A and B are shown apart, each in its own frame.
Chain A
Amino acid sequence: MSAAMESARTLAMGENETTGGARQSVGAPFGRAMVKLGQSRPEVVGLTADLGKYTDIVPFRDAFPERFFNVGMAEQNLVAVAAGLARTGKIPFATTYGVFATRRAFDFVAIALAHSHLNVKIVAGLPGLTTGYGGTHQAIEDLALMRMIPGLTIIDPCDATEIEAATLAIADHDGPVYMRLLRGAVPVVLEPGYRFEIGKARKLRDGKDVGIISTGLMTERAIDAAAALEQRGISAGVLHVPTIKPFDANAVAEFASSVGRVVTAENHVVVGGLASLVVETLFDAGIQRKVTRIGLPDRYIECGAVPTLQQRYGLTTAAMTATIAALA
């Protein structure tokens, strides 16, 4: 095997979310937060549909075996059972992959959970393009699907700090939640002192030429791209939007007004998700800015090594920097 082939060979399932940069990482931040929650909140229970090992919920299972239920490969039942548990006062955290939680179990999320505003948290692994396993496993349209469900809170965290903070925050929030999961070794991107709050966007960097509005793991790349752009004389700000719903339209409008043009960056198709929300927000507020959408095209993504695919679809820091520099 050639060196080039060797370097391109990553696990198809993409066990870790680190980009190989200089940042520190934390192992299984969701599992750590779940153990903390389990200790302080006896009503928190865990569920999975045969993906416990792959969604970082094993530490909770091991600490609280009597409060953990594995329903097997049955995502409709996963959501239905969680709904029933919530009706007895429990706070169920149900894990599976995003593709199964959304495509397979949509009717149960919409009707069994959200219609009754039940207190269930769905935590969904392999968001967007974080696996090379192909269209069956890449949840590239999950945010768009979930956005259409009334009353559902949707979170796309960007790093280990935020995963932990958001896990605790959604347990305190009374109502159904869909949260994207970054699993395995997850980088620490946010500065100490960052405070996560459901429904709030945070400006992480000031800039005047370009405003990058990002969510999920694209925020790490947005920060790095903004630093690289500065070297090229382009002033780029970054607004991190971890909550997709309810959307912080005021913060987005204010940020967009303060920059020359807007770039959206999401680990998701560019229809129906963050880009659509930003464009709708600017239109509603009467703010005229050109918007460039970084994200996945409206098509099924092929199999391959994750870094290769992310490079091909413009999601890496280098690709993003080049895209934005070319706008000037």
Chain B
Amino acid sequence: MPRNSPPADPDIDALRARATMLRRHMLTMARGQGAGYVGQGLGIADVLAALYFHELRYDPHNVAWTERDRFLLSTGHYSIALWAALAEAGIIPVEELVTYGADGSRLEMSTLDTTPGVELIGGSLGHGLGQAVGQALGLRLDRSEARVFVELSDGEMQEGSTWEAAMSASHFRLDGLVALIDCNGIQADGPVVLDMEPVGDKWRAFGWETFEIDGNDLEAVTGALASARHRNGRPKAIVLRTLPGKGVKRIESSEKSHFFRVDVAQWDSIIADFEQSVGAGA
């Protein structure tokens, strides 16, 4: 399969519909076990819609295609969003999504690379960026045009290994590497416990071409991804300001959005509200 380029003008309405589908899948998954990292997943849904249905070059029928763009989800516990995207992209069956987090399911609450479409084991935070650097170096040795996209989070920037990797990416001039930094303001112990601001300045200081945008604004996301295509000798960082639970009011306003658990009746009510907000049949 030859590589082609992403279309110049993204179809924002189509991407918005994809993001709604991803959110619908995630609610279905979370209802299955009654819980999950659904707040984070809903927050990053727009970014995954822009990646999987506009920016990334891949073949859903051949996930090992050597010329594919890589997407590394460093925050393995955001798996709920990745499973939704992989299902919507046709890499895993949509019917399988209800098994999320269930005993024996390959749709784990934290990613394992044995599931098709997963590029690394992402549960131990601080692993993704360094592995993305290695993949970008390997692709460059192969004279490949494929690029490497890696998602990491604001909390994950507290891991020292993230900065070891950030230094090396600019040293090696990996301009086909795009870091997507999900700044949703929460981590395991609650609101970000160690202030990471100014986030953009940190990445700029480490030599990265840096964009700071609203990660729930599809025009901004696709615009930043287009700007990040330039092969100018510098790795790209897109700092995404996202809202945990985005699109589902009761999760947006929840204080327990790091790990969200409610009973089935409440899930049904949340899903009914969601469907009403996006319009029946959307």
Q: A-side interface residues toward B, CB under 8 Å? A: 45, 66-67, 69, 71-72, 74, 76-77, 79-90, 92, 107-108, 111-112, 115-116
Contacts and interface: CB of A to CB of B under 8 A. Distances in A.
Contact of A80 (B119, B130, B171, B172): B130
A72 B168 contact: yes
Interface string B121-138: 101101101111111111
Contacts of A86: 134
- Dominant secondary structure at the B interface: helix
Contact of A88 (B120, B126, B139): B139
B161 A90 contact: no
A88 B132 contact: no
A81 B139 contact: no
Interface of B: 66, 113, 119-121, 123-124, 126-127, 129-139, 141-142, 160-161, 164-165, 167-168, 171-172
B134 A84 contact: yes
B168 A77 contact: yes
7 contacts: A66-B141, A77-B133, A83-B134, A85-B137, A89-B66, A115-B121, A116-B113
A112 B172 contact: no
B120 A81 contact: no
Contacts of B130: 76-77, 79-81, 83-84, 108, 112
Contacts of B172: 69
A40 B130 CA distance: 28
Contacts of B160: 76
Nearest to A81: B134
The residue in A69, A81, A83, A112 that gathers the most chain B C-beta atoms within 10 A of its C-beta is A81
A116 B112 CA distance: 9
Nearest to B142: A88
A296 to B, nearest CB: 30
A88 B131 contact: no
Contacts of A89: 66, 138, 142
Contact of B121 (A66, A82, A116): A116
A170 to B, nearest CB: 19
Contacts of A69: 137, 172
A249 B124 CA distance: 34
A86 B131 CA distance: 9
Nearest to B171: A72
A83 B131 contact: yes
A84 B164 contact: no
Given A69-B172, A81-B134, A74 B119 contact: no
A116 B120 contact: yes
Contact of B141 (A45, A71, A107): A45
B244 to A, nearest CB: 26
B121 A84 contact: no
A59 B134 CA distance: 22
A85 B136 CA distance: 8
Contacts of A80: 127, 129-131, 133-134, 161, 165
Minimum-distance CB pairs A-B, first 5: A84-B134, A80-B130, A88-B138, A77-B164, A74-B164
A112 B131 contact: yes
A90 B164 contact: no
A166 B171 CA distance: 32
A184 B132 CA distance: 34
B131 A81 contact: yes
A87 to B, nearest CB: 6
A108 B127 contact: yes
Contacts of B133: 77, 80-81, 84
A112 B132 CA distance: 12
Contacts of A90: 138, 141
A86 B134 CA distance: 8
A128 B269 CA distance: 62
Given A72-B171, A76-B126, A116-B121, 7 more contacts: A45-B141, A83-B130, A86-B134, A87-B134, A111-B121, A112-B120, A112-B121
A80 to B, nearest CB: 3
A89 B121 CA distance: 17
Which of B124, B135, B136, B138 has most A Cβ within 10 Å? B138
Contact of A84 (B113, B126, B136): B136
Contacts of A83: 120, 130-131, 134
A76 B142 contact: no
Contacts of A71: 164, 168
A84 B161 contact: no
A111 B126 CA distance: 11
Contact of A72 (B123, B126, B135, B167): B167
Given A76-B160, A77-B161, A84 B127 contact: no
Contact of B138 (A77, A85, A111): A85
A39 B279 CA distance: 63
Nearest to B172: A69
B87 to A, nearest CB: 23
B170 to A, nearest CB: 12
B27 to A, nearest CB: 30
